[in-house]
Chain A
Amino acid sequence: MSRPEDLLPPDLYYNDSTSRSYTTSSRIKNIQAEMTYRALALLNLQSPSLILDVGCGSGLSGAILSSQPNAPQLTNPGGPHTWIGCDISASMLAVALENDSPGDLFLADAGQGIPFRPGTFDACISISAIQWLCNAESSIETPQGRLKRFFDGLYVSLRRGGKAVLQFYPKDASQKKMISDAAVRAGFGAGLLEDSEGTKSAKTYLVLNVGGGDILGAVNGMEGVDVDERRAGKGKGSKKWKKGKPNKGSKAWILGKKEQMEKKGMVVKPTSKYTGRRRKTPF
């Protein structure tokens, strides 16, 4: 199946007819509801909270947030939540208006940042939206720039200890890496979680938290969870970065240059035990 992201920008792809069929399709409704419940379980909210819904569309996920009952015996206690949704498609928002969506709606592009003051939200949820940020529609924007503005804005607008669960459909492994790297660079503690990995119905969740707390705490005791934890500035991520390039002037660097020149067809002196060896310090 072709990806809608490759066809048109989101504001044009979700026109009146697509938005309507998207919202009325029972299959899409069920999948969206399932993913929203999963995201809520990962957020693990204990009291009625203020939530940001990025790419809220016609409010399918928001309806679930508002209808959560506050009953401690349930798996997802702490509702009903108040939510604020933003979406780039005016047609989707029109469908949400028709359905009397209980949350506040905004026509906004998440790739332009999040226009809220610091520490606004308890949590953020996003269902099948942020893969759209990997498309830049004009030459003055880049996918990396759009992702950076989104994650920077999100980091600021979440309160300390707040969490975000973003479900998305990555095109390939490199896109998945680009998104999670952008989140880590913004300062989030990030973990990727995949449900039914390797199948056609694989679902990727990016679980982010702001300052303190352990990302693994949320997924402890859950089945079928595969966590890939990274954090900016420490652990594997930063070391790997250094391993890629040898220091200029080192033996590895010289050998690399010689190989490069050889490939170009230049005449290169054969490598011996003296190649790249340090000279004796002259008196």
Chain B
Amino acid sequence: MKLLTLNFLTCARRTCKSSPLSFPLHPCDAELEIADVDFSLDFLRNILPRLEWDAMVALCSELSLPLSATVPAAAELSGAGDEPTQSAKDLHHLLLETNITAGKLVCGNCGHEYAIKEGIANFLLPAHMV
């Protein structure tokens, strides 16, 4: 699962919807893997305003990955002649090429653990928890 996806995921339980603690989910015993993805500057520009940067910073500190505390501006992504800058490449590497392949995601509100196996997170809830 890409780190980009993790920046959008919340707890699936109905009772957690109203709590601010249900986002972001906290990774636990996570195994990371790098997989190549084609670079797309347009997609980065599209997705950047929607990212919760604070959650991203918290996630990176939990996974001990480096990330600056300030949001890169849209203008910083491309240099002269629409060439992507190093910060755009770093962002692409972090968001789209870094995957969590195994581990758990823990909700900050109810403490429910969602298992990740082979990169697939299990968000099926038993009937009494829906």
Is A117 interfacial (CB-CB < 8 Å)?
A: yes
Our pick among A70, A93, A107, A117 for the contact of B8 (Cβ within 8 Å) is: A117
Are B124 and A107 in contact, with the CB atoms below 8 A?
yes
- On chain A, the number of residues with a Cβ less than 8 Å from chain B's Cβ atoms is 31
Stretch at the interface among B10-18, B26-34, B63-71, B81-89: B10-18
Q: Nearest B residue to A156 by beta-carbon distance?
A: B17
Stretch at the interface among A17-25, A78-86, A214-222: A78-86
Ordered by A's residue number, 26 sampled pairs between the chains whose C-beta atoms are within 8 Å are A50-B43, A50-B50, A70-B40, A70-B42, A80-B40, A82-B43, A82-B96, A84-B8, A86-B123, A102-B37, A104-B5, A104-B119, A106-B120, A107-B124, A108-B12, A108-B124, A112-B125, A112-B130, A113-B12, A113-B14, A115-B9, A115-B10, A116-B9, A117-B8, A117-B52, A119-B50
**A142 contacts which chain B residues (CB < 8 A)?**
none
Is B73 interfacial (CB-CB < 8 Å)?
A: no
Give the docked Cα–Cα distance between A109 and B122 (Å): 10
**A82 contacts which chain B residues (CB < 8 A)?**
4, 43, 47, 96
A-B interface contact total, Cβ < 8 Å: 79
Measured CB to CB, the residues of A under 8 A from B are 47-50, 70, 80, 82, 84, 86, 88, 93, 97, 102, 104-109, 112-113, 115-117, 119-120, 122, 138, 140-141, 159
Our pick among A70, A86, A120 for the contact of B50 (Cβ within 8 Å) is: A120
Known: A49-B46, A107-B123. 8 other contacts (CB 8 A): A48-B46, A50-B47, A50-B50, A106-B123, A109-B124, A116-B8, A116-B9, A117-B10
**B122 contacts which chain A residues (CB < 8 A)?**
106-108
Give the docked Cα–Cα distance between A104 and B23 (Å): 19
Give the docked Cα–Cα distance between A102 and B119 (Å): 11
**A117 contacts which chain B residues (CB < 8 A)?**
8-10, 23, 52
Most buried by B among A47, A113, A122: A113
Chain A nearest CB: distance from B17 CB in Å? Answer: 8
Are A84 and B40 in contact, with the CB atoms below 8 A?
no
Interface of A is mostly: loop
**B14 contacts which chain A residues (CB < 8 A)?**
113
Give the docked Cα–Cα distance between A115 and B9 (Å): 6
Contacts A88-B124, A97-B120, A138-B127 given; does A47 touch B9 at CB 8 Å: no
**A141 contacts which chain B residues (CB < 8 A)?**
127
Most buried by B among A82, A88, A93, A120: A82
Give the docked Cα–Cα distance between A113 and B9 (Å): 12
Chain B nearest CB: distance from A99 CB in Å? Answer: 13
Chain B nearest CB: distance from A117 CB in Å? Answer: 5
